[in-house]
Structure formats: structure tokens, C-alpha cells
Amino acid sequence: MEPARVGPIVERLRLEAGLTQAELARRIGTTQAAISKIETGRSVPGLELLDRLATALGRSIALTFGAAPVRPPLEERRRRIRRVLGDFEFDPWARAPSAAERESLLADGLTRERFSR
């Protein structure tokens, strides 16, 4: 299971329980930093810790293994990106890419001319 998929579940359940990361950490005998790492996908809790989390939150935690990840449709991903970036468009050529980066950009059809508009 990808760490990035467990974190949002734990965060949602914690918020629904009305707890801060520090309060949840105290309830299960860990640190606020450990909860933060789980919620941001930087670490995956073991089964024992997931059990303690569920108990502390008063909820069951259901995780599905082996299922194909569900990606939002392309238009939804674009909408999310525009919401965050606004009209900003990154120009990879502006930072003097290495030879390997140039080759990759060109292979993807991201020519210098495309960004000079």
C-alpha cells in the first residue's frame, strides 16, 4: 500500500474525531511528529499502530490491498493544478537543464519554443 493513501484516511478520521495530531499521539503513545509523518505519507504505520489508531479514534480503519490505485480523471487533476498554481506556467528551459533533462524534455515534446510564447 502506498503511504500517500493511508495518510489521508488517518487524517480524515482524526479530524472527524475532533482531535489534534498531538492529542491523538498522546492517546496512542507516540509523538505528534509520527502522526504528521503518517498523515503526509512519509511513513506507513504497521498493523499494530493502525489498531491503536483505530481504537483511539473510536472507529474502524478499512484499507484495501491489491486494488489498482484510483486516479482522478485528467480534467479533475488539471482543475486541482490550476486551483493551486493559477496562471503560473513552469518553464523548464529557464533554469538551464542538464543534457539528460534536455533529452527528456525533447522526447516528451516540450520544446524550448513551446515555452517562449
Domains of the chain, with CATH numbers? 3-57 (1.10.260.40), 74-115 (no CATH)
Looking at the chain, the whole-number percentage of residues with pLDDT higher than 70 is 97
Whether the pLDDT of residue 14 is over 90: the answer is yes
Full DSSP string of 62-102 = ---SSPPP-PPPHHHHHHHHHHHHTT----GGGG---HHHH
| Of 17-21, 42-46, 107-111, highest mean pLDDT | 17-21
| Separation CA 38–CA 36 (nearest Å) | 5
| Separation CA 2–CA 61 (nearest Å) | 15
Q: What angle do CA 8, 86, 73 make, to 5 degrees?
A: 50
Whether the pLDDT of residue 5 is over 90: the answer is no
CB 110 within 8 A of CB 92: yes
pTM over 0.75: no
Residue 2: predicted pLDDT: 66
pLDDT tens readout for residues 77-109:
889 888 988 888 889 999 889 999 999 999 999
**How far, CA to CA in Å, does 104 sit from each of 26, 88, 109?**
47, 22, 9
CB 2 within 8 A of CB 65: no
Residue 1: predicted pLDDT: 61
Whether the pLDDT of residue 18 is over 80: the answer is yes
pLDDT tens readout for residues 24-39:
999 999 999 999 999 9
